[in-house]
Chains A and B, each alone.
Chain A
Amino acid sequence: MSAGRWAGAAALAAGIGGVVAAPYVLPSYVVSLLTLTFIAALLAGSVNLLAGQAGLVSIGHAGIAAAGAYGVAWATVHDLGLPVALGVAAALTLAVSAVYALTTMRTSGIVFLMITLALGITVFGLALKLSSVTGGQNGLTGIRRPGPVEEWWTFYFFTAAVSGVCLLALAALSRSPFGLMLRGIRESQSRMTSLGYSVPAVKFAAVLASGAFAGCAGVLLAWNSEFMSPSAASFQRSALAVVMVIVGGTGTLLGPLVGAGIVVGAEYWLSSYLERWQTALGVALILVVLFAPRGIVGGLQDLAAQRPPRPRKEGS
């Protein structure tokens, strides 16, 4: 193997080693932040599939995650057992993703953004409204995790594993012919159509696929907090997911993870020391956009390949 590949493999091993060692060397609070980071990275990864590959930025994905979360929350609170809970979460995620997909498959750019925005807020409103099912504003308490992952550290490993596998799957998807189709759509929809692809069908599938990962993130979220309320579907949460993707770097494997780490770090770690952490986050976002347009991971990749930073490709 070349030196680069050895370095890559070594970095990977170090990364995995670090993740595994964390509960033994770091305080439990920091580990809980890492758990949150993995969950956020999964949601960001789902947004990244659409934004990075197809150029479709969704600012309402927290709504899909919330659907999965409420599914598992409601079923657990009603003592329906784990398989049923997961089934309900899957069904709800599929249903909500399908709505997102159907309403956006013929749109792109700003209109796509607006529709996903509206849908996210609609999910939030429904969660508030259907209080007999969702617990309304007060939310649902007592969502016990499944037995094997009840402890903080077992749940951490579980989340790390699930997120790791999902991020790899997302990467695999990007490198597959399907990913190629998505990138083709980003380059030129008309060309794709003339090549015989049904652009709406591809977009539909992409949103559904992305939704599945978002739903996973939602289930993990509900289990992590053992609590669920409508604010998980809020516009702010969806917007933060987009910020994570941008700061980390769209279209990269580790981008969502890095972005999630930074945003979670700002929201929970920085905020304990700096009351103006939101200003700091805003400044960080501005700096990244101005000086590292391909995000942090993208920027590092450019540096490694000794390319000058160039603007992201724009799709139509």
Chain B
Amino acid sequence: MIPRRWKSRQQAARLLLVILALTLAAAACAPDEDTGGGGTGGTVKLGFISPVTGFVAALGTDMRRGWEMYWQQNGGKAGDVTVQTVYEDDTGDPEVALTKARRLVEQQQVQLVAGPILANTAYAVAGYVAGKGLPTVQMTGADDLTQRKFNPLVLRVGYTSSQSNFPAGQWAYDEGHRTAVTICPDYAFGWESCGGFVSAFVKAGGKIDRQIWHPLGTQDFSTYVAQARQAAPDVVFVGSAGGPDAIQLYKAWTGLGLKDRIPLIGNCCFADQVFLREVGSEALGLQSFTYWSEGRDAPLVRGFVEAYEQQHKEIPSLYAAGAYTMAQVIAEALKKTGGKIEGADFIGAARQVSLSDSLYGALTFDDTNNVVGPVYLTRVERRDDGTLWSVVEQTFPEVSQFGTEGKEAFLEHPVFSRDYTGQ
């Protein structure tokens, strides 16, 4: 190793000069880079990133399961093309997600990257993959990904965080509610979720009494629920990201006796399966506006739920359904392009995909690569075997990420934030 006691400073200086000289000399010549390549003949190689460890391990695991299930059910093929997937774990950290994306693109030579889920990881990965000229398919909700930060190489097979809440706002008003209080987590997903509801509710003529923002990871919601109770609105909207926060919020809600006093509506991700498993029968009758209803009476949904339950002993969550649908859209696009994946052309083909039925319902895509599809008003009920799930009460077809405004008008105003929720 380096001699521990340098006799003179000259040695150090010489060392430095050597390093710099070599660096400069080397920097003059460019080495090769490895990208693209990918599948051979009738095979395509796809990369799939999701957080299988870390604080959102549940979501990432479900995503992987949903994706795998699609390929299992279709013999690992899309038409005549064999599909190979390389899986990576992003642990919920953008740095890790980016490095794993690099591995997929540069070392594993995948032709497309699907996932991850958390907004910051998705932005990091999408930025990198698109920068390499490869297509990427996302299911994260981050609004701007297909709005102000639109990229022709990025396709979202899913709904924006605000999208499924536009019908909620209108519906709440139509039900006769005139005042509302919102409870959303204090970060982009929460702002966008609330933004969807608030903008629609206010546009319809309603008034927002109070917007309650809570930090992510809040354990104890009694303060916030108490504030909602104090405002005594006609309806309360919750824009939750699911998981422990949703469970704790609802426990506080029922604990303070509000369950039968003020109507509560949840967003896409509030009353998911994780929630239902933990909260139990207190959740019966809870209404939400979402795009995934595991109890929806459609053959595709029934088949998926049955197969998933048989394999994994749980009802699939919206994360499993989302990944399954990503796979489905990619498969349909592959059939259109004959197994070729070439940058924006592939995304263009994917955008042309129109599914008369998917796990979400009838899907098409708009010209900024986002889903246009149905939103369901669901209610929690007990299935025949006693498990809880959501069934559809009402369907709102062809909801766009721009709500009822249309693209130009919608993009005029800034992205939903804590200060701007469309009031």
Interface positions of A (Cβ within 8 A of B): 4-5, 8, 11-12, 16, 20, 23-24, 27-30, 32-33, 36, 128, 131, 136-139, 141-142, 151-154, 157-158, 160-161, 164-165, 168, 171-172, 175, 221, 225-227, 229, 231-232, 236, 253-254, 267-268, 271-272, 275, 278, 297, 300-301, 304
The residues in B between 1 and 35 inclusive whose CB is less than 8 angstroms from any CB of A are: 1-3, 5-6, 12, 15-16, 18-20, 22-23, 26-27, 29-31, 33-34
Chain A nearest CB: distance from B21 CB in Å?
10
Chain A nearest CB, measured from B121 CB (Å): 9
Chain B 24-66, CB within 8 Å of chain A: the 1/0 string?
A: 0011011101100000000000000000110000000000000
Number of A-B contacts (CB under 8 A): 131
**Distance, CA A27 to CA B34, complexed state (A):** 7
In the complex, the answer to whether B19 meets A138 with C-beta atoms within 8 Å is no
Residue of A nearest to B86 (CB): A272
Decide if B3 touches A229 in the complex (CB within 8 Å). Answer: no
- Asked if A12 and B188 make an inter-chain contact with CB atoms under 8 angstroms apart, the answer reads no
Contact B19 A227 (CB under 8 A): no
Tell me the bound Cα distance from A168 to B187 in angstroms. Answer: 42
Interface flags, B182-196, vs A, CB<8A=1, else 0: 000001110000000
**Cα of A28 to Cα of B131 in the assembled complex, Å:** 16
Q: Among B5, B30, B131, point to the contact of A151 (Cβ < 8 A).
A: B30
Most buried by A among B23, B91, B127: B23
| A–B pairs, 29, beta carbons within 8 Å | A12-B15, A20-B22, A23-B26, A23-B31, A27-B106, A27-B107, A28-B33, A32-B102, A128-B187, A137-B188, A137-B216, A138-B120, A138-B188, A141-B123, A141-B127, A141-B149, A154-B27, A158-B23, A161-B19, A171-B2, A172-B12, A221-B95, A225-B95, A227-B94, A227-B124, A229-B124, A271-B89, A297-B1, A301-B1
Which residue from A142, A161, A175, A225 sits with its C-beta under 8 Å from B98? A225
Distance in angstroms from A307 CB to nearest chain B CB is: 13
On whether the beta carbons of A231 and B120 are closer than 8 Å, the reply is: yes
Query: Which B residues lie within 8 Å of A267 (CB)?
Result: 96
- Complex Cα distance, B26 from A161, in Å, reads 12
* Contact assessment for A142 and B127 in the assembled complex, using a CB-CB cutoff below 8 Å: yes
What's the minimum C-beta distance from A25 to chain B, rounded to whole angstroms? Answer: 9
- Residue numbers of B with Cβ under 8 A of A are 1-3, 5-6, 12, 15-16, 18-20, 22-23, 26-27, 29-31, 33-34, 52-53, 88-89, 91, 93-96, 98-100, 102-103, 106-107, 119-120, 123-124, 127-128, 131, 142, 149, 187-189, 216, 417-418
Alpha-carbon distance between A154 and B27 when the two chains are bound, in angstroms: 6
Q: Which of B33, B119, B142, B417 contacts A152 (CB under 8 A)? A: B33
A301: chain B residues at CB < 8 Å are: 1
Q: Is the CB of A161 within 8 A of B20?
A: yes
Q: Which residues of A contact B3 (CB under 8 A)?
A: 4-5, 8
Partner of B96, one of A27, A30, A268: A268
Contact among B5, B107, B123 with A139 in the assembled complex (CB-CB below 8 Å): B123
A residues less than 8 Å from B29 (CB atoms): 24
Residues of B within 8 A of A165 (CB): 16, 19
Within the complex, the shortest CB–CB distance from B418 to chain A, in Å, comes to: 8
**A5 to B5 CA separation, bound complex (whole angstroms):** 11
Known: A160-B23, A164-B19, A168-B15. A137 touches B53 (CB 8 A): no
CB distance from A160 to the nearest CB of B (A): 7
Residues of B within 8 A of A11 (CB): 1
- A16-B19, A172-B12, A227-B123 known; A139+B94 contact, CB < 8 A: yes
Taking a contact as CB atoms closer than 8 A, the residue among A23, A33, A131 that contacts B417 in the complex is: A131
Structural contact, A268 and B15, CB atoms closer than 8 A:
no
CA A24 – CA B6 in complex, angstroms? 32
**Which residues from chain B contact A157 at a C-beta distance below 8 Å?**
23, 26-27
CB closest residue in chain B, given A276: B53
With A23-B31, A153-B30, A301-B1 already in contact, the answer to whether A136 and B93 are too (CB < 8 A) is: no
Instruction: State whether A29 and B102 are in contact (beta carbons under 8 Å apart), knowing that A160-B23, A229-B124, A275-B89 are contacts in the complex.
Output: yes
B213 to chain A, nearest CB (A): 11
Known: A137-B119, A231-B93. 10 other contacts (CB 8 A): A16-B19, A137-B120, A139-B120, A151-B30, A154-B27, A157-B26, A164-B19, A165-B16, A229-B94, A272-B103
Mostly, the A contact residues are helix
Instruction: Given A137-B188, A227-B124, A229-B124, verify A168-B12 contact (CB < 8 Å).
Output: yes
* B124 & A139 in contact (Cβ 8 Å cutoff): yes
CB distance from B184 to the nearest CB of A (A): 13
A227 pairs with B98, CB closer than 8 A = yes
* Residue in B15, B20, B106 whose beta carbon sits within 8 Å of that of A29 in the complex: B106
Find chain A residues with CB under 8 A from B34 CB: 27-29
Bound-state Cα–Cα, A113 to B148, Å: 43
Q: Find out whether the CB atom of A20 lies under 8 angstroms from the CB atom of B23.
A: yes
What is the chain A residue whose CB lies nearest that of B143?
A138
Q: In the complex, what distance in Å separates the CA atom of A29 from the CA atom of B106?
A: 6
CA distance A36 to B93 in the complex (A): 15
Q: Are A36 and B99 in contact (CB under 8 A)?
A: yes
Closest approach, in angstroms, between the C-beta of B31 and any C-beta of chain A? Answer: 4
Question: Is B102 in contact with A272, judged by CB distance below 8 angstroms?
Answer: no
Task: Considering the complex, give the chain B residue whose CB is closest to the CB of A304.
Answer: B1
B99 contacts A227, C-beta separation under 8 Å: no
Partner of A275 from B52, B99, B216 at Cβ < 8 Å: B52
Q: How far is the CB of A282 from chain B (nearest CB, A)?
A: 13
- Expressed in whole angstroms, the minimum distance between the Cβ of B367 and any Cβ of chain A is 22
Q: Cβ of A153 and Cβ of B31 under 8 Å apart?
A: yes
Q: How far is the CB of B383 from chain A (nearest CB, A)?
A: 32
